[in-house]
Amino acid sequence: MELVKELPEIFSEFGEQRRKSFMDAYALKQQGIPFVGAFCTYLPQEIPLAMGAAVVGLCSKTGETIPEAEMVLPRNLCPLIKASYGFAKTDKCPYFYFSDLIIGETTCDGKKKMYELLGQIKPVHVMELPNSQSPAALLLWKSEILRLKEKLESHFGVTITEDAIREAIKLKNRERQAIKAFYALQKQVPAPMDGMSLHQVLEGVQFKFDREKAIDELWALIDKIQRESDREKYRGRKRILVTGSPIGGVAAKTIQAIEEAGGQVVAMENCGGAKSVDELVDEENPDVYDALARRYLNIGCSCMTPNPNRFKMLDELFEEYRVDAVVEIVLQACHTFAVEAYSVKKFATERGIPYLGVETDYSTSDEGQLRTRMAAFMEML
């Protein structure tokens, strides 16, 4: 990516990164680089990175394969799960095709059962994610990280050393710091970019296999935004925080509806946003597995009960990003986020921050309704 290009073009390039990286993935496979497919931010990527593997998020961003998935899965299942399985079943996801091993985590019941079906197509390793952040849960998660290491070693015939893990921790921490610095630009008033540009970069950087180069590109992009962004065109817009389910498959219609109505998405707490990179791994911890377990178990996802870390982060984001309102986007049949939405609404409104909850799926059938609801909500603000 040449940073002499205009900002809109650069943002679009990040948005197209998933598609553009198909050939990069093919080239890596030709070199014999092992591929590990991932579904969730709970995966401690440092472990497969330490063995020299490429780690890639698997396709679940569109609904094109959902009809195929519904031949096996129930129609009233979460669209993200159906899309994930549909891409695998139809062999339409090159990343799934290239993956030598799929790693899942027990974040929800629907995914757990879907992994059983995926295992009939590709080798799948499932990590037993605890549903709390207690001391006992920490011990379990540490043991699961060790079990993952052993699985990778046996599956690929390699040895993963602690020194290699420490180097991977440092690399991932540098990546997190660059990503945090990028989305922290939105703390400025007016914020320097719209929500779709923010989302495109946060999602696209996940599909850059040369991580050192990606880190350099992020810092260069940050510098370019600071110098060239036309902030004045965003002056007066309501500053919106988006939270809830993973929004990769619905980002276009939801963020677009918010910003067409006069809002500006300045913060994203969803998976793939601030939640994913907020905390670094402690590089000074003499026990690398304990360090990884503590960092990843602290993620404030609704699959945790209780889930104080999510609300701690929301409180910080409300203040640091000067949020005018919260829009929570919940995918249909995403039960943990749907139940926790009540608590998020209460948490926001008690702080004087208006809240709007939206339930949606991967279809386009509700786009008109979304635009109407967002326009009414922005008018109320």
Average pLDDT for residues 104-131, to the nearest whole number? 97
Q: Give, as one character, the DSSP assignment of residue 217.
A: H
Q: What residue spans of the chain are helical by DSSP H?
A: 7-15, 17-30, 46-50, 66-69, 79-90, 94-98, 109-118, 135-156, 162-183, 195-204, 211-228, 251-260, 274-277, 288-297, 308-320, 335-350, 367-380
Q: What single-letter DSSP state applies at residue 329?
A: E
214, 176 in Cβ contact below 8 A? no
β-strand partners of 325:
240
Name the band, by pLDDT with cuts 50, 70 and 90, for residue 7.
confident
Handedness of CA 150, 152, 157, 158 (dihedral sign): negative
| Per-residue model confidence as pLDDT tens digits over 259-305 | 999 999 999 999 888 999 999 999 999 999 999 999 999 999 999 99
pLDDT at 2: 45
Tokens of 77: 């299942």
pLDDT the model gives residue 237? 97
What is the number of other CB atoms lying within 10 angstroms of the CB of residue 24? Answer: 15
Give me the count of residues in the chain: 381
Q: Which token pair is 327?
A: 């829009």
Helix-helix angle 288-297:162-183, to 10 degrees: 30
pLDDT of residue 3 exceeding 90:
no
Task: Give residue 182's pLDDT band: very low, low, confident or very high (50, 70, 90).
Answer: very high
Confidence of residue 1 (pLDDT cuts 50, 70, 90): very low
- Which domains can be identified in the chain, with CATH numbers? 28-160 (3.40.50.11890)
Report the pLDDT value the prediction gives residue 10, as an integer from 0 to 100: 82
**Tell me: the pLDDT tens digits for 230-271?**
999 999 999 999 999 999 999 999 999 999 999 999 999 998
Q: Residue 192: pLDDT above 50? A: yes
CA dist list (Å): 287 to 151, 162, 171? 20, 9, 17
Residue 359 pairs in a beta bridge with 330
What is the DSSP code string of 109-133?
HHHHHHHHHHTTTS-EEEE---SS-
- pLDDT per position as a tens digit, 8-43: 888 788 778 877 888 899 999 999 999 999 999 999
Q: What is the DSSP letter of 272?
A: T
User: What are the tens digits of pLDDT across the range 128-147?
Assistant: 999 999 999 999 999 999 99
Structure tokens given for 82: 């159906």
Tell me: the pLDDT tens digits for 57-72? 997 889 999 999 999 9
